[in-house]
Amino acid sequence: MRFRPSGLLDWTFEIALIFKGLDGILEIVGGALLLFISKAQLDSWVVALTQHELSEDPNDFIANHLLTAAGHLSGGGQTFAALYLLAHGVVKVVLVAAVLKDKLWAYPWMIAFLALFIVYQCYLMVVNPTVGIALLTVFDAFMIWLTYREYGKRQIMHSTMA
């Protein structure tokens, strides 16, 4: 059995799940890269990625933040970031795949996982508020609501089939 969207909110849920899964894949790739490349190589990649944009706009928000973030990573910080991204990405991909396969156990785990990250994101907003973290937090709260809604529907559906 597989999750099959039937209405607008179902389609929204499935599309958001797919984005979460793709984000998880990107986190796994990013974590693996951070784990296996040197600090010097990372710095040179970030400079190469941002050089053109900064030549056009020296105040570019994203490019400057990338350079700052790369500059602040120490050896231990890079390892922590790599392991964090790998763990977060693997959990996200596993849960998204399980929800898309309509595994009932995955819905509460998805809700708990997102709730933990909302707590962490709220901490980040207190320490260093950004629009990106605020938007991510709102999106994750919306995902919790959609997941809870779908979970209720799926429990009813599974109980009538049993």
Burial annotation 3-23 (CB, 10 A radius, 16+ → b, else e) = beeeeeebeebbebbeebbeb
Structural domain harbouring 43: 8-161
150 assigned to some structural domain: yes
- How many structural domains is the chain composed of? 1
Does 1 map to a domain? Answer: no
- In-domain check, residue 2: no
Q: Flag whether 110 is in a domain.
A: yes
Residue 3 lies in a domain: no
> Mean pLDDT for each 10-residue chunk of the chain (162 residues)?
71 90 93 86 84 85 81 76 89 94 93 94 88 90 94 84 68
Q: What is the reported pTM?
A: 0.75
Domain membership of residue 130 (yes or no) is yes
Tell me the C-alpha distance between 149 and 15, whole Å.
15
